[in-house]
Amino acid sequence: MARKKTTRKRTAQKRPTKTTVAGKKGRKNKASSKKTAKKKTAKKKTAKKKTAKKKTAKKKTARKASAHRSTSANKRAANKQSRKTSGATKRSTAAAGSLGRPKVTGEEKLFLLFKQDYHARQVFDFLRVDTVKELEQYSPDQIVKLLSQPIRQAVQQIRLKLAENNRSLADDKEYTRRFKERSGP
């Protein structure tokens, strides 16, 4: 059934009136206060009706839901066993796959991000990377290999030069002997 729309009349702003008799003014105030009292009680009644309708609607939906619960409870119990095994793997992959929202952009300059870390900035200079995105292309093992390669080469050259002059590093006499055998007398 369609409900009628109720419109509220807006109360006009009170304007001072020119009256010479004080009694008339007093009567107008009493009348206006009665009107506002009636409006307040009317508002309360409509609010009570609305809450009563909401309660009955909630009861109806609760009845429907309880009927639905009995059938869905059986379905849930049947699927519970299958969810236990597959749910654990889904959670672990979801947790491992996402790191959350990045706190810095890919275009962030590394020298700004690592202002206080001199050694890290030296590594970035060696790798010739300037941004976070460029640095993300390397794995930790790759970085260690790339950084340690020049050191290994330098140590190898030192060993070679010492072997040519019949000298060796500590615990490295075997390398000098092999070098002498290869090069001849």
Confirm whether 29 is domain-assigned.
yes
Q: What is the DSSP string of 111-160?
A: HHHTTT-HHHHHHHHHHT--BHHHHTTS-HHHHHHHHHHHHHHHHHHHHH
Four-residue CA torsion sign, 100, 104, 110, 111: negative
| Domain membership of residue 78 as a residue range | 23-100
pTM of the complete model: 0.43
Q: Is 72 a domain residue?
A: yes
Return the percent helix, strand and coil in the chain, to nearest 5.
70, 0, 30
Among candidate residues 82, 100, 118, the one where a domain is terminated: 100
pLDDT per residue, tens digit, the chain (185 aa), is: 566 666 665 555 555 555 555 545 545 555 555 556 566 666 666 666 666 666 666 666 666 555 555 555 556 665 555 555 555 555 555 556 788 998 899 999 999 999 999 999 999 999 999 999 999 999 999 999 999 999 999 999 999 999 999 999 999 999 999 999 988 76
